Structures are given as structure tokens and as C-alpha cells.
Amino acid sequence: MNIPTEASLELLEKSIEGRLNEMAAMDKSLHEPITDGVVDISQYLASSPRILWILKEPYDEITEGKPSGGGWSLTEELRKGLRNNKGTYPMMAYITYALFNGFPPYSEIDYPTENPDVAHALDRVGYINISKFPGQKTSNPKYIKNAYGKMRDILRQQIDGLAPEVIIGGNTLPLFFEDLNITDEMCDGNGSTLSLHRDGRLYIHAYHPGQWAQVDKDMYFDDIISIIRKYFPNPY
């Protein structure tokens, strides 16, 4: 696994943005791409383990059949800090905060709106979506699968360039299994997750962090924390 540098990550961001703009032009897309990657390069590089979340698609307001939506950066928005306590990003922040702050239980972590350290916990991570174009509040599985087919090379470039030591897929990782030579049988069950530790990297197949129905919040949090702690007991 290569070790990324500030220069390599900056170059990666420019390369991905260029490829996405070319794709949008070639497809005559009505919507501009929404870029993603590392939230804060210096904090990502200073963190051990390096963590990458892979989710489905970015939400944005779009008008059907008209040019609208996109043209902004998810990572720039996340660098501003979380301003709410519900939805997808807070659970990602709680998990990240716990990993790098002595593993406090879910019940003892402050809301992002109450603690700037929790609000900015995601500054440490990489975060990419399978689709790079505006999506709806509810993802269509067929659309996401098709998007993976179109974005496969770009996603692989991002994973190779970011060189994460932990990849957490929010109900997305099975799409990567064939390319990563992973099967369900190779993975270990850990509560609500499946995981595989191979060649210095931990893969975690989990529910989407924005779900609040399929699995209890405390269990979701504990299952991911415990499996990362098993292989990386002393994060910093």
C-alpha cells in the first residue's frame, strides 16, 4: 500500500475533478458533478488509521429535465463543521470522534451542535460517493449499481490514491467485492457488520450511517468501533 502525501492528494483531487467534468460533458449531463475525497488533507495524513467512508450518492436539489444541481464540493462543505445532530454525517462523526478520543461510548459523546470537536471530527477522514452527481434523498439500488459501473475506474483511482487503512462501506462495499477479490465467505460477522482484514487494510460492510431503523444506533456504533479497535487498538 502506498503512503499518500499532501502533494499526491492535491494532484488526485485535480485529476478526479477533471475526469468528472469530462464525463459530464461527454454525457451531456444537465447536472454538474459533486466532488468528494479527503475532508482535510493534513489531518487525514496525520491520522492512524487512515479511514475512508464510501456512501452512495450526494443529495442536491435538482429540477427534472433542466440544468440544475451539482458544481460544489462535499469536502469543502464538511470542513465547515456539522450543524445538525441527525442524518448521515453525525453518526460518521460520532464514530470518528470516538476512535481518536479514547473510545468513549456512544451515550457519552456530545452532539455536534454542542461540541466543536465532534462537529469537526470528519476533518480526519476520506469520504467518497459511488455516484458523483446530484441524487435524491432515497437512493435507487439499480441506479447506484449502474453508477458504479460508470465510476469504477475513478473510484479505484480514489481508493488507490487515498490508501486508506480502514474502508467503511455504508451498504456499498459488496459492489466492490469482485474488483477487490472479496467474497462474503471470506468475511467475519460482527453484529450488524461484515469485515475482512487483509494486507494491512480493514474492510467493513455496514449499514448506511443515515439509517435509523434497521439497526439500533448504539449497536451500529459499537459494532464498527469494536472491529476497528481489534486491528488498530491505539489510534491517533
pLDDT at 96: 98
Give the span between the Cα atoms of 120 and 164, in whole angstroms: 19
Q: What are 183's three cell numbers?
A: 467474497
Average pLDDT over residues 79-103: 96
Per cent of the chain over pLDDT 70 is 96
- Sketch out the chain's domains with CATH numbers: 6-82+123-231 (3.40.470)
Encode pLDDT of 31-66 as tens digits.
Answer: 899 999 999 999 999 999 999 999 999 988 766 665
- Radius of gyration of the chain, Cα coordinates, nearest whole angstrom: 17
Encode pLDDT of 1-40 as tens digits.
Answer: 789 999 999 999 999 999 999 999 998 888 899 999 999 9
Could you identify the residue written with the cell 448506511?
Answer: 208
Cβ-in-10-Å burial (0-12, 13-18, 19+) of 204 comes to buried
